[in-house]
Structure 1
Amino acid sequence: MQALVVVAHGSHLNPDSSTPTYRHADTVRETGVFDEVATAFWKEEPSFREVLRTLNSEEVYVVPLFISEGYFTEQVIPRELRLAEFDVDQWDSDGTSASSTTLRATDVDKTVHYCGPAGTHDAMTDVIVRRAESVTGDDEVGEGFGLAVVGHGTERNENSAKAIRYHADRIRESGRFDEVHDLYMDEEPEVDDVSDHFDTDDVVVVPLFIADGYHTQEDIPEDMGLTDDYRTGWDTPTEVDGVNIWYAGAVGTEPLMADVLLERARDAGAAVGTAVEEVREQTRAGAD
């Protein structure tokens, strides 16, 4: 038997924080390729510490639904799952290339394949592009458009910005959009000045956050000038300094995100059959 466990941050304050995690887990569950699909959270129940004990499967694939490598993926999650032999060097990562490592949990008789975060997988690039398609309603969006990939940014964890730059670079190299820039909330270049960074008249803004919350629904829209008060909402697009801003909201809410979870597990050795292709087709059909 094989199980998938999706681990996420969750929130005591935002009841919608866990919603994308549940939805993506449901999508994977419906494929039927895992005997069990479970979710666990740092700030909600069930907790990281308990989740392995709820499973009957002996083979468990754990995928962190986090954007970047860092404190939670390297310290908190392995500790709470009691993966005592985990060492971040086992990932052999430069900050964006963590794959997976196979370990034994110390208090349950299970083989645990601990995967790198969903946010640094190459398939995440496709989710960002799909988010741009969703907000514009155009499956061919790109020509005549700029794309801003937005992250939190922090001097405390350099990997936070690395993940944002990684995907922005990949999309830029694809040549799909006229311009692609990575922008941040807490470091330069800042998202506040989004219109200053583009020559195009239309810019899609995709924040690399797992769930919509304080940052994506309050801070960023107000900082960009979409609205003076987030409670009154904003138009899509909204013209700011002569530029049409198409604000997409958190990338983690895009249904295609379920594909990234499957690809992470498949890369770690999970038998998923044609589920990746099925989910890609299903999520696009649902959006259309």
Structure 2
Amino acid sequence: MQALVIVAHGSHLNAGSAQPTYDHADTIRETGAFDEVREGFWKEEPHFREVIRTVESDEVFVVPLFISEGYFTEQVIPRELRLENWDPDLWDSEGTDASNVTLEAADVDKTVHYCGPVGTHDAMTDVIVQRAESVTGDSNVGEGFGLAVVGHGTERNENSAKAIEYHTERIREMDRFDEVQALYMDEEPEVDDVTDHMSAEDIVVVPLFIADGFHTQEDIPEDMGLTDDYRTGWDVPGDVDGQRIWYAGAVGTEGLMADVILERAADAGADIGDALERVQEWTGGTPAAGD
């Protein structure tokens, strides 16, 4: 028997923070690829430290629903799952290369395949593009459009920006959009000045966040000038300095995210059958960029 455990941050303050995790877990359950699919959270129940103890399968694939490699994926999650002999160096990653490590979980007789975060997987590139298609309603969106990939950014964790830059460059190499720019909330170039950094008349803005919350539904729309008060909402597209802004909201809410989770588990050796093809059919996705 094999189980999939999707671990995410969750929130005590935002009831909708966990919803993408449950949605993607439901999608994967529907494929029948795993005998069990469970969700675990840092700030909600079931907690990281308990979730593996709720599965019966001897083989467990753990996929972090996080954007970047860093404190949570390298320290908190392995510690709470009680993964024996874990060391971040086992990933042999420079910030965007984490794949998977097979370890034993203390206190339970289970083999755990601990995967890198979804946010640095190559398949995430396609989810960002799919998000642009979803918000514009155009499966061919690109020509005449700019695309801004927005991250939090922080001087405390350089890997936060690495994931943004990685996918921005991959999309730029597709030569699909007129221009592609990485923007940040807490670093330069800042999303506040999106119209200063991009010249396209139409700009799709995709935040590389897992769930819609304080940053994506309050800070970013107000910072960009889409609205003076997030509580009154905003138009999509909205006019900012004579340019149309197509604000997509958090990339993690896109249905195709289930594909990335499956890709992570498959890379770690999970037998998923035709689950990827089925998810892509349901969500209108395509094979991962570069395949």
What's the TM-score once normalised by structure 2's chain length? Answer: 0.97
Listed as ranges, the matches of 1:121-200 within 5 Å are 121-200=121-200
CA distance in 1 between partners of 2:58 and 2:188 (Å)? 46
Equivalence map 1:238-257=2 (5 Å): 238-257=238-257
Tell me, yes or no, if structure 1 residue 83 matches structure 2 residue 83. Answer: yes
**Structure 2 unaligned residues grouped into runs of 5+:** 286-291
Amino acid at match of 1:141: V
SS at match of 1:155: coil
Question: What amino acid is aligned across from residue 76 of structure 1 in structure 2?
Answer: V
Aligned residue in 2 for 1:120: 120
Aligned to 1:211, what secondary structure does the other structure show? coil
Structure 2 residue identity aligned to 1:101: V
Q: Identity over the aligned pairs, expressed in percent?
A: 78
Q: How is 1:96-107 mapped onto 2 (pairs within 5 angstroms)?
A: 96-107=96-107
Give the partner amino acid of 1:157: N
TM-superposed deviation, 1:84: 2.5
1:30 is matched with: 30
Distance, in Å, in 2 between the alignment partners of 1:84 and 1:275 is 30
Equivalent-residue separation in structure 2 for 1:247 and 1:185 (angstroms): 15
What is the CA-CA distance between 1:242 and the residue it aligns to? 1.1
**Distance in 2 of aligned mates of 1:204 and 1:127:** 14
Which residue in the other structure is 2:51 paired with? 51
Pairwise CA distance, 1:141: 0.1
CA RMSD, 1 decimal: 0.7
Give, as a single letter, the amino acid of the residue that structure 2 aligns with 1:226: L
**Secondary structure class of the residue paired with 2:126:** helix
Shift of 1:153: 0.2
Q: Output the CA distance in 1 between the equivalents of 2:217 and 2:107.
A: 41
- What's the offset of the Cα at 1:125? 0.3
Q: Which amino acid aligns with 1:233?
A: G
> CA separation in 2, counterparts of 1:105 and 1:72?
17
Task: Provide, for residues 224-247 of structure 1, a one-character-per-residue CA deviation record: whole Å limited to 9, x for no partner.
Answer: 000000000000001101110000
Partner residue, 1:108: 108
User: What one-letter code is carried by the residue in structure 1 that aligns with 2:251?
Assistant: V
Q: CA deviation at 1:106?
A: 1.1
In structure 2, distance between residues paired with 1:277 and 1:203: 30
Residues 20-50 of structure 1 show CA distances to partners (whole Å, capped at 9, x for unaligned) of 0000000001100100000000000000000
**Distance in 2 between the 1:143 and 1:73 partners?**
37
Cα distance in 1 for residues equivalent to 2:184 and 2:199: 19
Residue in 2 aligned with 1:236? 236
State the shift of 1:177 in Å: 0.4
Task: Measure the CA separation in 2 of the matches of 1:232 and 1:55.
Answer: 44
Alpha-carbon separation, structure 2, partners of 1:199 and 1:23: 36
Question: 2:13 is matched with which residue?
Answer: 13
- Report the Cα distance in structure 2 between the residues aligned to 1:145 and 1:225, rounded to whole angstroms: 19
Distance 1:28 1:260 in 2: 11
2:283 alignment counterpart: 283
What secondary structure, in the 3-state scheme, does the structure 2 residue paired with 1:85 have?
coil
Q: Distance in 2 between matches of 1:148 and 1:33?
A: 34
Amino acid at match of 2:183: L
What's the secondary structure of 2:284's corresponding residue? helix
d(CA) in 1 for partners of 2:203 and 2:107?
50
User: Which amino acid in 2 is paired with 1:178?
Assistant: D
